[in-house]
Every structure is written in C-alpha cells, then in structure tokens.
Chain A
C-alpha cells in the first residue's frame, strides 16, 4: 500500500519560497504585503504538510469520503436503469483489466467449482456451475466505467442477483452482499445495488461462456457501479450487516463508487 504521505505534494519549502519572492522586491511595504500573499499561496498550495499534519489530512479526507458514501446512497435511485446499447456499440476487443496480468489470472476448474452462499440467508447450500447455469438468464449491453476514467461497452448474460437472493431466502434488509474471488479479490455491494434489476450474476460475455479474461466462471456485473465493484472469478457471497470492505475499497477508493 502506498503511504498517505504521497497525498501531500512534496518538495517546496515555504520559508525559502517566501524568502526568494520577497528578495526580488525593493519596496519594504510592498515586500511585507507580498510576503503575506506568497506565504498564503505557499501554505495553501505547495506545502500541505506544514498546514495540516498528515494524520489529520488523511482522517479528514477519509471522513469526507464516508460522507460522500452517505450522500451517494441517499441520492441513489434504485429504479434508475443504466443506459443500454445496441450490439453495434460493443467495444471490440473489450479490455482485460485487473491489478495483475492476464497470465496471472486465476484458472478455475468448472467441475470443482462451488459458489458458497453464507451469512443472512435461509439456504446456505453451495451451488455448482450447472445449477447456476440453470437459473433464468437475461442479456444486457451496458457501459463498463473504470475508476481510472476509461469506459467500454460490453454484452453480459446471466441471472438476476435480486432473484437469486430471493431464491436463497436472503435477508434483503441486510446492508451488504460481500463477495470473495478465486484469486483473493474481495468486494462489497450495498443491498439496494444488489437488488437493482440490472445487477447480474454473469456467466456469458458476448453470448459465449465467460472467458478467463472476463472472470470465468462467474462475474458480478453491476452497470450502476464503477468497474472495481464488478468482481470476477467469484466463488463466495456473504449477506451481512457488517461492512467488510474490499480489495480497492480498503486502499482508499470511495466505497459507494456508484455511477
């Protein structure tokens, strides 16, 4: 993990900067006036570390991010559907994206695969791939938006997570669905998003069984959230009231991150 120190701009010493700036100016009165201005600029713009110590900057930013989570979930309308697109709009090739290369992506054996369902659910039985494939499926062509800023349109087919949660008798008043993946990746979805009609347990990409690059055997496709909230290689789900974070959430990405 990167140190929070990096959040603050390194480099310029404000005392030296003010000294340099004032030396250039002959008139003493003006010098004092500009020294004030320069120190103001230096304080606010250049050396955050001298104004606020790192710990308080870190906790303030984290506090605002939590505040933003609350604002976003209050504004989130679970009935708003993500725009859908025609086949012709699909981005080809759809990019592979992870914090590791494709050759390091997990290789999941279809025959051994079990989807564990735990937490606040009536039926904690593990699901085989064949059982999951037998669920009613729907296809949607939506835009995947990465936290980095790029976007790509893809075609995903799978089962409704909302219907699945009802099927297993999940307590949908619980706050979160927490997912665990084959390579150790984790992620949390808030319950209103898990119950969104477009949130999908995805088994196919572009009408073909999900390739390794896109998360075989199962991806959770959430068109109302940024890409990192769409876990691939999903092997377990826990319905819970405890916020368990996630791989990127724990490193500082905004936990709600809904679009």
Chain B
C-alpha cells in the first residue's frame, strides 16, 4: 500500500517540507474515523446503560444518551462493540506490524514529557512537523491505546462474569469491574475533549486526519 510506504518515508522527518507529504496514511485515517464513530456510539449508549443503575449520585441527561431506554441502549452497545473491537484489533495489529507505534510513540521519557508540557503551557511548543509527535502527544496517544484495551477488557468482564470469571477477578470482581469500566470511559471522554480542542486549535492536524496531508 503506497500510503504505508509514505508513512515509512515519513519516519525520516528531519528536513523534509510537510507540504505534499502524507502525514496520516490512509489506513490510519479510515480506522481513526471508524473508531471515532464506534467510541461515540459506545459512550452514549453506555451512559444510558449507566442510568439504569448509577454508580455515583448523578445520571446522564437523556438528550445526550443513545437508545432511549435500557433495552435500546444495550442493543446499540452490543452492536457497536463489534465495530469497536474489530476496528481496534486491526489498528493494534497494523500499528505493531508497520512499526507505526514504535516510530510515533517512542521514545517516551518523564523529563521529555515534563519539558514538552512546560513548553506547551507556555505556548512555545512547535507544530511545524505534524508527522512527529511531541512527548505529551506520545504519552496521551500511548495512554489512550492502553485505556482503550482496558475499557474493552473490563467491559467483557462485566458482560461475561461467569464464562470469563478469571478476567472479572483481574478487575477485582464484578462490582469493582463496573467502576473500572466507568473510569476508562471517563478517561476516554477526558481525552476526547482535549484531543478535539487541540485538533481545532491546530486545524491542519484535523485536515491531515481527513485528507492525509
């Protein structure tokens, strides 16, 4: 696939102009937007499921939930899960096999993250070359992949606490696994807010995720 080749070329990011070069290869863009749709469907139907038996002293407003009632929300949740899981597995496999994870998300270091975070907050972080992630981006993108894996595994553990009881036990039992699942959702929503805000602040990054350049 030419876009993967272009992505490999992008690894040599030193002095090449960003113009005309593929920043986000086709497979990343396709999987990204499928994941975006799947995540939104899972989150909004998940909020409706949560409302049936809230873990905390609040419920989600009906207008921002999906499914109308618990039964409808569960239908959405257990349909969109296939989209999320299959798409996510393809993404993990492709990210590992093409070396994209290694190229884009490593090396990652605590001083590096702190340094880039300071620069970002001071408004001094450059975005000249969108093919290279800064340390804060690396941390967030690597972190959200881990959270994505945990949200799926904790979801499976509360869906199948008998058949997958070993997995439920890993999450501290059924009731605790529900909190883990909720916590992952909260982390994803938090990521989403920052991610969308930054993409809008640097519109060429959003353009790159849509048309590739």
> Is A101 in contact with chain B by the CB < 8 A criterion?
no
Whether B78 contacts A147 by the Cβ 8 Å rule is no
Whether B75 contacts A44 by the Cβ 8 Å rule is no
Q: How far is the CA of A73 from the CA of B102 in the complex (A)?
A: 39
Choice from B72, B162, B203 contacting A82 with Cβ under 8 Å: B162
Specify which chain A residues have a CB less than 8 angstroms from the CB of B49 in the assembled complex.
149
Interface residues of B in 71-124 (CB under 8 A from A): 71-72, 74-76, 78-79, 82
In the complex where A77-B163, A259-B162 touch, is A147 in contact with B70 (Cβ < 8 A)? yes
In the complex where A33-B207, A259-B160 touch, is A254 in contact with B74 (Cβ < 8 A)? yes
> Is A242 in contact with chain B by the CB < 8 A criterion?
no
> Is B40 in contact with chain A by the CB < 8 A criterion?
yes
> Is B27 in contact with chain A by the CB < 8 A criterion?
no
In the complex where A61-B76, A149-B52 touch, is A143 in contact with B71 (Cβ < 8 A)? no
Which range contains the number of B residues in contact with the other chain?
A: 35 or more
Specify which chain B residues have a CB less than 8 angstroms from the CB of A10 in the assembled complex.
63
Q: How far is the CA of A81 from the CA of B66 in the complex (A)?
A: 34
Q: How far is the CA of A119 from the CA of B197 in the complex (A)?
A: 62
Task: Name the residue of chain B whose CB is nearest to the CB of A146.
Answer: B53
Q: How far is the CA of A166 from the CA of B53 in the complex (A)?
A: 39
Whether A150 contacts B53 by the Cβ 8 Å rule is yes
Choice from A2, A36, A146 contacting B72 with Cβ under 8 Å: A2
Interface residues of A in 16-60 (CB under 8 A from B): 30, 33, 36-37, 40, 44-45, 60
Which range contains the number of A residues in contact with the other chain?
A: 35 or more
Whether A65 contacts B78 by the Cβ 8 Å rule is yes
Whether A4 contacts B66 by the Cβ 8 Å rule is no
Q: How far is the CA of A8 from the CA of B78 in the complex (A)?
A: 16
Specify which chain A residues have a CB less than 8 angstroms from the CB of B60 in the assembled complex.
none
Whether A30 contacts B203 by the Cβ 8 Å rule is yes
Task: Name the residue of chain A whose CB is nearest to the CB of B80.
Answer: A64
Task: Name the residue of chain A whose CB is nearest to the CB of B161.
Answer: A259
Interface-centre pick from B63, B75, B206 (highest chain A CB count, 10 A): B75
In the complex where A33-B207, A44-B40, A254-B74 touch, is A9 in contact with B66 (Cβ < 8 A)? yes
> Is A75 in contact with chain B by the CB < 8 A criterion?
yes
Choice from A2, A9, A145, A223 contacting B69 with Cβ under 8 Å: A2
Specify which chain B residues have a CB less than 8 angstroms from the CB of A230 in the assembled complex.
none
Whether B162 contacts A80 by the Cβ 8 Å rule is yes
Whether A76 contacts B163 by the Cβ 8 Å rule is yes
In the complex where A148-B70, A151-B174 touch, is A65 in contact with B79 (Cβ < 8 A)? yes
In the complex where A7-B75, A143-B174, A148-B53 touch, is A2 in contact with B162 (Cβ < 8 A)? no
Whether B52 contacts A148 by the Cβ 8 Å rule is yes
Task: Name the residue of chain B whose CB is nearest to the CB of A77.
Answer: B163
Interface-centre pick from B49, B50, B162, B174 (highest chain A CB count, 10 A): B162
Whether A37 contacts B206 by the Cβ 8 Å rule is yes
Whether A254 contacts B165 by the Cβ 8 Å rule is no
Per-position binary interface string of chain A over residues 232-245, scored 1 when its CB falls under 8 Å from any chain B CB and 0 otherwise: 00000000000000
Whether A149 contacts B178 by the Cβ 8 Å rule is yes
> Is A173 in contact with chain B by the CB < 8 A criterion?
no
Specify which chain A residues have a CB less than 8 angstroms from the CB of B69 in the assembled complex.
2, 6
Task: Give the top 4 A-B pairs by smallest Cβ distance, nearest first.
Answer: A6-B68, A252-B71, A149-B53, A148-B52
Complex A-B: 18 CB contacts under 8 Å:
A6-B72, A8-B68, A37-B210, A45-B37, A61-B76, A61-B79, A64-B82, A65-B75, A77-B163, A82-B165, A147-B52, A147-B70, A149-B52, A149-B158, A149-B178, A252-B72, A252-B75, A254-B74
- What would 19 more interface pairs be, CB under 8 Å, given A9-B65, A61-B75? A2-B69, A6-B67, A7-B66, A7-B76, A36-B210, A37-B210, A45-B37, A45-B40, A60-B79, A65-B75, A80-B163, A80-B165, A83-B165, A143-B174, A145-B161, A145-B174, A147-B74, A148-B53, A258-B160
Tell me the B residues contacting A by CB distance below 8 Å.
Answer: 33, 37, 40, 44, 49-50, 52-53, 63, 65-72, 74-76, 78-79, 82, 158-163, 165, 174-175, 178, 203, 206-207, 210
Tell me the A residues contacting B by CB distance below 8 Å.
Answer: 2, 4-11, 30, 33, 36-37, 40, 44-45, 60-62, 64-65, 68, 75-77, 80-83, 143, 145-151, 223-224, 248, 251-254, 258-259
